[in-house]
Structure 1
């Protein structure tokens, strides 16, 4: 700072330190705390960082974003509650983690409900998204942008190749949600609820024979190191929205909401492209590591659809009733099934 400016500031009664403080305040009028539990180099983690960068850019630095990635603040088991009580202002996590509070929100785990993330994204910008948001609003949460974890479910195990559902018989498998557990049990497997952070050691010790998850988790969490056999299926694109605490959201200015919402929506198309690329890249990486990666034939895939898909729809509706039926109707109408 030159001497002339210092004199002007002194004459006006404004100190240099005060000016610096005012500049800093203007540079960060708002701080947004956002969390996700997925590890680095996954579609969810990439979308979270892209969102943070976009908010900073669009606000010209006036909105600061603090990121809490890889479960560093909130894990799968408590992230929904943490967002609802404003431990974080925003979060990216699976729709199905709301199911213990709102059972119908497990809708996106119904196998083969949708096999194209791009088409599902379009549906989420229509009545489907509105009805999902209505359920989330009951828990002080609002979706401001849509994203996808990847294609679930795939299977990893230490025993044998799983080509058809009958190959699951006798295996102790980490399940992913209620519908997954029911399906595994129906096939003669033993479903076990295990947090993703514990799967590696459980496979290593033999307390689990295998695990159900998206291929991106199997690879990014390195489960392929302890499970030789992988079955890769385009089962369903799990929905991982960018969600915000509704009370906090309403307390922002309209200009702040516009910037943050624009940043969120701006990440959506890349998120769709990322999960498609990630699926193929993960197969290649697993094979390179020496794993046996199996892709079901058309006839075998039909067996998965006839068992996992049909039964899961029935189980889902039986469990959640009218709200779930409305969501499935929204999906079917949007995808013209």
Structure 2
């Protein structure tokens, strides 16, 4: 009798755990895991924007979607991200324009001097026909663009010799330049370009590897570059953009409701990052003059910078063929329509 009861009890427990296992495995089978890979450090405002995205998606998906953020290149390095996301090696990636220009050379024009240099212009470009054209190129890699958001502005120039007011003031100097656009800018000013990775800037400047350091104003603050330069000149000729993309196959498997949740979360993340970027830039404007002699070119001087850099954009367009010329002319058209010189 006791043995019969024990057998029944064990059988009941076995059935229960089997049923429970099936229920759990079924639930987890329906769970969508979205890993987001980014090159930026955890405390950077672009990563904070991804955290907003994560919170919004998980809150509104009611347990159907789990988002995890992997900063500082933990999963993939920046330039590997387009192929990693496109192949499905990772579900999502946050990639700045230069990572894409290695595959699509015409994207280099988006970082050309005074091509995309303000929030209103960027929002106009990326939400219109140009944005559609760029999105199709990205989609050809097996990715869908969820949202775009700002990294910040280039350029600020630091040196220890004199106040730089015009591009010609850097003639004959050696300047940090990373990528084709910055190399062409250096040559347009009569300067000699020298490649220095972002993480190596501080020590390179301290040792005097170059005469002029080049980065963004917010990077001069975060990397404490003001400690190694006496003079700084803020030009802000380029607004760099991040593209948060998802693997196309992953996207197609999502329900229409979840797609809507993800796109809405992207809008909120982008809105946060635009405000955060403007705040960082304003803070840099206030902080840097307390640490170094900072010069902001006036309107007339900025026209000189634009004239000096104009050949750079033409060269970039010619170097990237028909697509580059089409993008170049399209951006100039939008600038003209907005009354931007």
Q: How far, CA to CA, are the matches of 1:16 and 1:284 in structure 2?
A: 64
Instruction: Kindly indicate whether the alpha-carbon contact (under 8 Å) linking 2:188 and 2:308 is maintained by their aligned counterparts in 1.
Output: no
Cα distance, 1:248 vs structure 2: 3.2
- Residue 318 of structure 2 corresponds to residue 299 of structure 1: no
Deviation at 1:245, TM superposition (A): 2.5
> Which residue, 108, 117, 120 being the options, matches 2:119?
117
CA distance in 1, matches of 2:251, 2:171: 47
Aligned CA distance change for structure 1 residues 61 and 277 (closer, same or farther; 3 Å):
same
Aligned residues: 327
Structure 2 residue matching 1:147: 3-state secondary structure:
strand
More helix per residue: 2
Answer whether contact 1:27 1:62 (CA < 8 A) is retained.
no
Aligned to 2:257: 255
Unaligned 5+ runs, structure 2: 1-8
In structure 2, do the counterparts of structure 1 residues 113 and 67 end up closer, same or farther at CA, with 3 Å as the change threshold? same
Q: How many angstroms does 1:182 deviate by?
A: 0.9
1:216 matches 2:257 = no
Contact 1:156–1:229 (CA under 8 A) maintained in structure 2: yes
Give secondary structure in 1 for the equivalent of 2:235. coil
Among 106, 109, 116, the residue aligned to 2:108: 106
Once residues 22 and 305 of structure 2 are traced to their aligned partners in structure 1, the CA distance between those partners, rounded to angstroms, is 63
- Equivalent residue for 1:4? none
Do the aligned residues in 2 keep the contact of 1:175 with 1:191 (CA within 8 Å)?
A: yes
- Corresponding residue for 1:34? 36
Q: CA deviation at 1:124?
A: 1.0
Q: Does the 8 Å contact 1:128/1:330 carry over to 2? A: yes
Residue 157 (1) aligns with residue 151 (2): no
Q: CA deviation at 1:212?
A: 2.4
Q: CA deviation at 1:125?
A: 1.5
CA distance, structure 2, for counterparts of residue 132 and residue 153 of structure 1 = 24
Q: Is the 8 A contact 2:146 2:244 kept in 1?
A: yes
1:328 aligns with 2:331: no
Q: How many Å separate the matches in 2 of 1:120 and 1:188?
A: 29
The runs of at least 4 consecutive aligned structure 1 residues that moved more than 6 Å come to: none
Partners in 2 of 1:22 and 1:169 — Cα distance? 68
Give 1:328 shift: 3.0
**CA shift in 2, pair 1:314/1:241, >3 Å:** same
The alpha-carbon deviation at position 132 of structure 1 amounts to: 0.5
Give the Å deviation of 1:94: 1.5
- Structure-2 residue corresponding to 1:204: 206
* CA apart distance, 1:127: 0.8
Computing the radius of gyration from Cα coordinates, the structure with the larger value is 2
2:53 pairs, out of 48, 51, 55, with 51
Check the 8 A contact 2:145/2:245 in 1, yes or no. Answer: yes
Question: Contact conserved, 1:96 with 1:108, CA < 8 A, in 2?
Answer: no
The C-alpha deviation readout for 1:138-179, integer Å capped at 9, x for no partner, is 322321111111122222334443221112223332213212
Deviation at 1:252, TM superposition (A): 3.4
Structure 2 distance, partners of 1:21, 1:73, is 32
Distance 1:296 1:28 in 2: 57
TM-score, structure 1 as length reference? 0.85
CA distance change for structure 1 residues 248 and 100 in 2, over 3 Å: closer, same or farther? same
**CA displacement, residues 25-68 of structure 1 (integer Å, 9 cap, x when unaligned):** 45981111112223355432222222122222221233111111
Change (3 A) 1:287 1:24: farther
Q: 2:93 aligns with which of 91, 94, 105?
A: 91
